Structures are given as C-alpha cells and as structure tokens.
Chain A
C-alpha cells in the first residue's frame, strides 16, 4: 500500500481594529486600522506569500504530479489581497492552474461560528466556497474549520453541507494511544473522513525549525525525510498542517527555511515510500481505521488543543455572546455594509487578542497580538461592538 504525505497551509490575515474610543461610539463607524492591515499584508507578501508561492510553483514544475500541496485561504485574506496586493492573488491563481494544488473550504471570515450559530456557520462556508470558485475556478471538496476546530457535531454539520473530508488536529487527549497517521471518520456520520495533523512533525518545521537550543538544529531536509519515513513505517498518512506564514515570516528567510523546502521533495521522493498528495486524494486512497469520538471541540492551538485560546475567559465569552446576540438583527436588516462588518467582527483573532493564558503559550500569543494587554483588546472590541449594535438597531427599527 502506498503511503501519503499531505502538506496543507493556512493562509489568513485578520482585519485589525483601530484604536476605537468611547467617544467614537455612535459618531464614527470606521472600525479598521487600514494602515496597519495594509502594511502588515504587504510585508508578509514580500517575505512569505510571493517567494513561497514562487518556490512551490518551481517545485511543481520540477516534479510534475509528484509534488502537491493544499491551501486554505480565508475570505478575509482574499479580500486583503484584492485590496492591497493583487499580485499575491495572481500568484495563487498561477498555482491553481497547475492542478497540483487543492484549495480547501472554511468559514469566510475565519470565524468561530461553528461553536455558536449553525446557520451563520453554513452561510459563511457557502460564501467562502463561492469566493474560492470565483478566484480559482474549483469548488472545494475538503473542509478545514478555523484553527482546525472540530467536534462530532461540527463534523456532522460539515458532512451535511456535502463535504467528504475534513482536517483537524491529532490532539493527544482525543487519540490516546492511537496514531494520527491514519484516516478516521466522524463519529456521527461515517461518510465524513478525517485527516489528523501530526503535530510533532508539523511543529518541527513551524515552531522549532530555527530554535538553536534544539539538539536537532540545524534541521536538514534529509534528516527530516528520515523522520517522516520513520513516522510512516507502520502507518498510512502523515499530515503536515501549518500556517503558511511559517515560511519567511515566522521563520525568516535567513533561517534557511526556503532552502529546506526546496530540497524536501527530492529527499522525500528519493528516500521514503511517501507520495505527496492533496487531502481529498489521501482520503480517497486510504481506508478509514475507526470513528473518532470528539464530544468537546478541539483545535490546533496551545498546549490544551481546545478552544480556550478564543473562549477561555469571561472577557472572551462576554464579547462572543454579545456579538452573536446581534446575529438576528443583522440578518433582518439585510444591509450589505452591516453584514460585511459583522463578518469581520467575527474573525477569531479578535478573541485571541483577549486571551489571558500568558504563561505556557505566551510567546505565540504575543507575536500575533497588536494590543499590550487582553483588557485593552476587550475594551476596544466592546467599544466597536457597541457602535455596531447601534447601527443594527437603527437599521432594524427603520424596517419595522
């Protein structure tokens, strides 16, 4: 039996909020820090998206059908590309034309809707699939929820939307003795197949690649390929899932990450039985070994691998509850601007900034956070939300 290696990259950029003061409530409905969003996107485009897309394109040219990857690009990121860096969108389209790249479905605004509102979840997935179809000409078949959030119920909802494959985290507390390197199925609807992230091997690249205190530094493609071979010795699939920004942004070019990736396909194809394939190919090729029971939501974030990075304290819960309490009004208002802002305010990043788990995963949280403290993040978000609520109220009362 052939063994598979799935590379999947998450591409997302949040719409960061500007400093929104109490006095702005009701007076100014411009919420976003366009300068920061543009600057950051342009920087990441230069350091990561453009060079890495180019590299992947070269590798596909070189290896033909033997090198494949998958992307999930959030709607928020797509919009920012269109607005600030259309050349990035073009380079993704170029990759799409090779047919060696699979584009996955997710929630349009990289939201946590799956944890709260099945209706909004469905709407966002539809919206995202439409955007992918528009830009890349294919309708996604595989689903990947925000930050790999998954539970039995979410899986069932995803299966109901017609997806046959879904990606999630190979969380230790769910797997126990089981290996993430096999195909599993949803516990409620066995038609939905699950690919689980191998977090050890993924994090070797995403987090530990440039860590000089790591005894395995520097990591070469050959050594890494040997680890992959070892990992797959008795198993079927290895799933390497990570942020796309790993390449050139989190691990900058001087760490040698691009050279590592350039050499990786050769090392894997020459020395292992692994074949690169896309998630939907892997799901079709292998036999599921068991259903996976996940009663409570898991994700790929932090040591806990749960949703506590976004909904772990009272600040986050309050902001989240208040946001979704407006859903009905927004839908009733049927106003495009209102809906667009509602989607942007749902981005999981806003809640991530309010996280108070500073100690174990502090470094990661700090890296991604434009605020000094979670309290500032909360105050700013609630001020924005208060203005947004006023707008919703105004629109709906006019309708009546």
Chain B
C-alpha cells in the first residue's frame, strides 16, 4: 500500500504536536510496510527520512509537470481543477473571473494559450514559508495547487491529509487521481478558540474537507464527537484513532537540580485552549498550604504576558517560573526536573505531552476535557475549571509518596503500551475501507 500524505510540518521544524504525531504515525505505518509520500511545504532537508520520502512542495514546479503532460492531459487537469471555485474567494493570487474563464475555456482562445498564460503567471516554483503566518490562507491554496501537480506525477493508493491546512490539497489530489481521501482531524476550530470566535473561513475549509473525505480519522472520541456534532458529519464515516507516542529514541536525561523544592510543570502553548489560568490559580492555592513547591510554566503563547501579570499580582513570582518556549533537550530536561506534570486544557483533542511526562516517571494530572484521558487510567483526571480538585491533586502527589510512586510506576507501563504500530494497524484498516468503498 502506498499513501500520499499531506502535512504542514515535520520534525525537527515543528510549531506544535502535529509534526510529532505525523512523524510517529508514518514510522508506525512503515513498520507494516506501508509506503508514505509525505508532502510538506518548505522541507529544509534535515528531516528524518528513514521512514518516509519527503517531497518539498517548494521544489515542485507546476509548470514542469504540465509541460511534460500532453495537451489532452492538460485538458483533463484543467477540467479537474474546477473545484477551486468552491473557495475562489480564498484565492488571493488569482482573480476569480479570470480563473473561471481560464478553467472553463472561452471560444476565442485555445486551451494552449490559456495554459501559456497560466504558466507565465503561475508557473514556476511556489515558495512556501511553511510557517503559520498572515498569508496562511494563501499558502493553503497554493499548497493545493502544488498538490494536484504532485498527484499527477506519483502513484499511490490512498490520500491522507492532516488537519484543515492540507484538506484543500487532499481534495485537489483526490480530484486529479480519483483515489480515496482520508482526512485526519488532530484539532478543530472549536479547540483553537471559544465557540463564538470561530474563524468562518477555517470552519468552511474544515467542513469542506470532512464532507469530501471518504473516511475521517479523529484523534479521540472527544474529537470524533465534535466532528459529528459541530460539523454534521455522518457518524459512520468517522473513526477514532488514538494517538500513540514514540519512545524509541527516548533517553531519560540526567540533570543536576539546583533547587530542593518540588517542581510542578505545565508545558505547552500558553493559549486559551491549554487553560494556563487554571494552573496559576491552583498553584496559588497549593502555595498557601505548602511553600516548598515551585511551579513552572514552560512555553509561550498569546496569554503569556497576561499570565505573568497574574502571577505577579498574586505575589507568587518567586515560586512561579516562566521558561519561554523549550525545544529538544530542554523539554526532556524540564521533565527530568519535574515532580508533577499538569495539563489543565480547556479543550484538547488528544494531548501527547502527558505521555512524555509519564514516560519520564512524572505523575500527571490531566483535564477530563482532553482526548488523552480516554486512554489513560493512571493519570489523575480533573475538570479543567475545577482548581480546587487540581490543587488537591497537586498537593496529594507532592505529599503522599505512595500516590506519586504508584502513578509514576503504572504510568510508565501504561504509556509503553501506546504504540504507533498499533495505531497504524487501525489506520490501515481505515485506508482499506476507504479503498473498498470506492470500488
């Protein structure tokens, strides 16, 4: 089986959990002899290619592919490209009227002329920044353009697109190749913002992708329910495939701890979704009872400054530390420093970092509103808003060694059983179903 996979990031260049998950699941698939063609914008060349073949979307010349193609193939391309009209408002680099005239053809111009014009304006290589930026919408669309070129050039059995950024690319590839499309929902708009702050353009893209997909994988039942309820998708199409975690290269780090105090760690983006304020309030409560604790908020995000002000206001800044964004070894170092890990997410489709913490023998507290809560028994679960319960749990893990050691010991075992190979088996089933359904 060969999979054409569209992603947006891949280790080591990652802004969030999506890259890590892509890496793990492609490796899991490789174990079962599934070939993956991973397409991402702006591959910088130092990604780990042992399990996947990475195609850098910036290196694909749309014009090259077309000039190789004969006119009839170009014809078919242009007829298949018509789906772009669905989101023409999102195509800033092309005037919608010009676009439709080009695609549908006008009497006075031949197809070839159109192609020539197209090449002049839009041929050559597209340069992707590959970062989440202001012209993201534009990049999403350009990525879809390139996707169709890639789909023409390569052979594969199924298309797999990760998150809304690549849905348009997945759809384009499906239209060109006729192969089934599986989309993978790692997060939805509802996890990124509160219900009344949803970006309608993103929502529309997500819904379009979900409707066009033959099968949908969601990273948890929590996310599966959101897909079904908020986007109105047929439940039979949606399958929960829980993430796993790849610890093959995991080495516990030896650190010299400079402080005797116990350390409670929050590690993640400091955004609404992650519930940083609940962590701060719980920390304040714990500090009233036991002073020999330090709290660390590792990461950055749009709520960071507000969090710092709140900590200062509560007068606990000598016990509450901010590290800024951590990467690579510093993350491991942070886990090695920690006595308790906490993830108070307001909405977390899955949440891989508690698994990393537990693998490092750090007992974890997670919110019930996280997907990872569905697969963990030995993490303490509280509601994200329940700062009293959270403070209780922190206090318990710090002061009752039996609780902490059991959580740590059983946690490692539990986490060791979450393997990408197993998740990959489930994914292969989904692929197969998508292929069979289309036959």
Q: State whether these chains interact.
A: yes
Chain A residues in 8 Å Cβ range of B259: 25-26, 386, 390
Chain A residues in 8 Å Cβ range of B294: 386
Chain B residues in 8 Å Cβ range of A375: 304-305, 308
- Given A24, A319, A373, which contacts B317 in the complex, CB threshold below 8 Å? A319
Interface size class of A (residues with CB under 8 A): 20 to 34
By the criterion CB–CB under 8 Å, are B321 and A378 in contact?
Answer: no
Task: Say if the beta carbon of A21 comes within 8 Å of chain B.
Answer: yes
Chain A residues in 8 Å Cβ range of B19: none
CA distance A314 to B337 in the complex (A): 29
By the criterion CB–CB under 8 Å, are A379 and B308 in contact?
Answer: yes
Task: Say if the beta carbon of B296 comes within 8 Å of chain A.
Answer: yes
Task: Say if the beta carbon of A321 comes within 8 Å of chain B.
Answer: yes
CA distance A318 to B313 in the complex (A): 7
* A322 to chain B: closest residue by CB: B318
By the criterion CB–CB under 8 Å, are A321 and B324 in contact?
Answer: no
Which of A313, A314, A383, A387 has the largest number of chain B CB atoms within 10 A?
A314
Chain B residues in 8 Å Cβ range of A26: 257-259
Task: Say if the beta carbon of B272 comes within 8 Å of chain A.
Answer: no
Task: Say if the beta carbon of B315 comes within 8 Å of chain A.
Answer: yes
Chain B residues in 8 Å Cβ range of A317: 312
Q: A27-B258, A314-B309 are in contact. Are A379 and B322 (CB under 8 A)?
A: yes
Chain B residues in 8 Å Cβ range of A21: 323
Task: Say if the beta carbon of A23 comes within 8 Å of chain B.
Answer: yes
By the criterion CB–CB under 8 Å, are B257 and A378 in contact?
Answer: no
Chain B residues in 8 Å Cβ range of A383: 321
By the criterion CB–CB under 8 Å, are B309 and A382 in contact?
Answer: no
Chain B residues in 8 Å Cβ range of A28: 258
CA distance A317 to B317 in the complex (A): 11
* Residues 297-315 of B contacting A (Cβ, < 8 Å): 304-305, 308-309, 311-313, 315
Closest Cβ of chain A: how far from B24's Cβ, in Å? 27
Interface string of B276-312 (1 = CB under 8 A from A): 0000000000000000001010000000110011011
Task: Say if the beta carbon of A385 comes within 8 Å of chain B.
Answer: yes
* A323 to chain B: closest residue by CB: B318
**What's the count of A-B pairs with C-beta under 8 Å?**
64
Q: A23-B333, A26-B259, A375-B304 are in contact. Are A389 and B318 (CB under 8 A)?
A: yes
Chain A residues in 8 Å Cβ range of B309: 313-315
Task: Say if the beta carbon of B256 comes within 8 Å of chain A.
Answer: yes
* A394 to chain B: closest residue by CB: B260
By the criterion CB–CB under 8 Å, are B258 and A25 in contact?
Answer: yes
Interface string of B320-335 (1 = CB under 8 A from A): 0111100000100100
By the criterion CB–CB under 8 Å, are B321 and A386 in contact?
Answer: yes
Task: Say if the beta carbon of A296 comes within 8 Å of chain B.
Answer: no
By the criterion CB–CB under 8 Å, are A315 and B312 in contact?
Answer: yes
Interface string of B75-87 (1 = CB under 8 A from A): 0000000000000
Which of B311, B312, B322, B324 has the largest number of chain A CB atoms within 10 A?
B312
Q: A322-B318, A385-B318 are in contact. Are A378 and B312 (CB under 8 A)?
A: yes
Chain A residues in 8 Å Cβ range of B308: 315, 375, 378-379
Count of chain B residues with a beta carbon within 8 Å of a chain A beta carbon: 24
* Residues 316-331 of A contacting B (Cβ, < 8 Å): 317-319, 321-322
CA distance A315 to B310 in the complex (A): 9
Q: A314-B313, A315-B312 are in contact. Are A379 and B324 (CB under 8 A)?
A: yes
Chain B residues in 8 Å Cβ range of A373: 305
* Residues 215-238 of A contacting B (Cβ, < 8 Å): none
By the criterion CB–CB under 8 Å, are A22 and B323 in contact?
Answer: yes
* B307 to chain A: closest residue by CB: A375
By the criterion CB–CB under 8 Å, are B258 and A314 in contact?
Answer: no
Chain A residues in 8 Å Cβ range of B304: 375
Interface string of B321-354 (1 = CB under 8 A from A): 1111000001001000100000000000000000
CA distance A22 to B309 in the complex (A): 18
* A325 to chain B: closest residue by CB: B318
Closest Cβ of chain A: how far from B326's Cβ, in Å? 9
Q: A385-B318, A386-B318 are in contact. Are A314 and B312 (CB under 8 A)?
A: yes
By the criterion CB–CB under 8 Å, are A24 and B258 in contact?
Answer: yes
Closest Cβ of chain A: how far from B289's Cβ, in Å? 20
CA distance A389 to B318 in the complex (A): 9
Chain A residues in 8 Å Cβ range of B256: 27
Closest Cβ of chain B: how far from A198's Cβ, in Å? 37
CA distance A274 to B408 in the complex (A): 80
Closest Cβ of chain A: how far from B255's Cβ, in Å? 8
CA distance A315 to B317 in the complex (A): 9
CA distance A319 to B305 in the complex (A): 15
CA distance A24 to B309 in the complex (A): 23
Chain B residues in 8 Å Cβ range of A389: 318
By the criterion CB–CB under 8 Å, are A387 and B258 in contact?
Answer: yes
* Residues 15-41 of A contacting B (Cβ, < 8 Å): 21-28
Contacts from B to A (Cβ < 8 Å): 255-259, 294, 296, 304-305, 308-309, 311-313, 315, 317-318, 321-324, 330, 333, 337
Contacts from A to B (Cβ < 8 Å): 21-28, 313-315, 317-319, 321-322, 373, 375, 378-379, 382-383, 385-387, 389-390
Give 27 A-B contacts (CB < 8 Å), ordered by A residue: A21-B323, A22-B296, A22-B322, A23-B255, A23-B258, A23-B333, A23-B337, A26-B259, A27-B256, A313-B309, A314-B309, A314-B312, A314-B313, A315-B309, A315-B312, A315-B317, A318-B311, A318-B313, A318-B315, A319-B317, A378-B308, A379-B308, A379-B324, A382-B317, A382-B318, A383-B321, A386-B294
Closest 9 CB pairs of A and B: A26-B258, A318-B312, A27-B258, A314-B312, A26-B259, A22-B323, A314-B313, A315-B312, A322-B318
